[in-house]
Amino acid sequence: MKEYYLGLDLGGTKILAGLADAQGNIITRSRKETEAELGEDKIIENMIETIEEVLNKAGVSKEQVRTLGIGSPGPLDAKKGIIIENSNLPWKNVQLVKKMETALGINTLLKNDANAAALGEKWFGAGKKVDNMVYLTISTGIGGGAIINKELFSGVNDNACEIGHTVIDPDGPLCGCGNHGCLESFSSGTSIGKRAREAAAAGKSKKMLDLADNIIEDIDAVICAQAAYQGDQIAIDIFEKAGYYLGIGLGNVVNIFNTEMIILGGGVMKASDLFLDQALKTMKDIALPGPLEIVTVKEAELGSDIGLMGAIAVAMEDRLIKNE
């Protein structure tokens, strides 16, 4: 009997599911609204329906599916299969794995989305040829995942690689986690947007105000990037500064992990030409010669598929390691 793997990428607004063959090629995929506002039971119902749709489209039965991998925003307990809570989803201590296994009868594994994305890039993306890599997603927040000797390094209770919450400057801005000066408070899309609004409110950037039709609240990282591409010096400086602090974070990653590769993904990377050179320069200043010598920094390759391919990699991780 042919065997298959399922991946499900759970987001605050949409659910993506895909069915893959034993080589990790996606055969069918489906998408549904999360409908987070309708509550926990409805979200789970939507997840189950998305998976059933994917299987129906492919004409594959549940019995032919080896494992379902789920990538979800956290914090969560991957070993217990529990989502602890999430700011975009209305749930607390949800036994997600148990509920999915009961409903579908398919062995299910859960990982946080940044860890899943790291696995996706390792097995299907930019990290295919290396055994040791760190993945960083730079989007609304900054998350990470480390692959050490081909395996995801999760930490004892699943909290490893919170690189976004490593402190870069204790006198820096307040972070959502309560600390001051976390990497996330300098270089995430959210923090870039915040800096941009502050600059516009202080009358420093007419360009950003124009692009936002004079509504300061509408200024975000995307508008800041547009202004920078149109030559607005303040916007350019905001990205360069974000790049500088990202470079400190990357230098720390190089010194701590000594991996062959660091892969950068997430929405903010769409504007990478505005900050990456600065980030790499700072990284090289901070990193020690030994680990710096062997590390390569690459952009993620999976693009908008990273969530889904990450979830499939979660489902296939054991098989992929054995097959190598």
Separation CA 222–CA 224 (nearest Å): 5
Query: Cis link prior to 170 (omega < 30° from 0)?
Result: no
Minimum CB separation of residue 90 from Zn ion in Å reads 23
111 sits near Zn ion (criterion: CB under 5 A)? no
Q: Which is nearer to Zn ion, 24 or 141 (CB)?
A: 141
- Footprint on residues 137-196 left by Zn ion (CB under 5 A): 165, 175, 177, 179, 182
Whole-number Å distance between alpha carbons of 146 and 241:
25
| CB of 7 or CB of 164, closer to Zn ion | 164
- Strand pairing category for 261-265 and 296-299: parallel
Question: Would you give the end-to-end CA distance of the chain in angstroms?
Answer: 22
| Pair 135, 127: CB distance under 8 Å | yes
Distance between CA atoms of residues 108 and 97, nearest Å:
6
Cα–Cα–Cα angle for 189, 191, 192, nearest 5°?
65
Q: Which of residues 281-320 bind Zn ion (CB under 5 A)?
A: none
Q: Which is nearer to Zn ion, 162 or 317 (CB)?
A: 162
- Whole-number minimum distance, CB 75 to Zn ion, in Å? 13
State which residue, 190 or 259, has the beta carbon closest to Zn ion: 190
Q: Give the count of beta carbons closer than 10 Å to the beta carbon of residue 44.
A: 17
Smallest gap from residue 139 Cβ to Zn ion (A): 15
Range 216-245, binding Zn ion (CB under 5 A): none
By beta-carbon proximity to Zn ion, the closer residue of 30 and 166 is 166
Taking the complex as a whole, how short is the minimal distance between the CB of residue 144 and Zn ion, in angstroms?
13
As measured in angstroms, the least distance from the Cβ of 184 to Zn ion is 5
The footprint of Zn ion (CB under 5 A) covers: 165, 175, 177, 179, 182
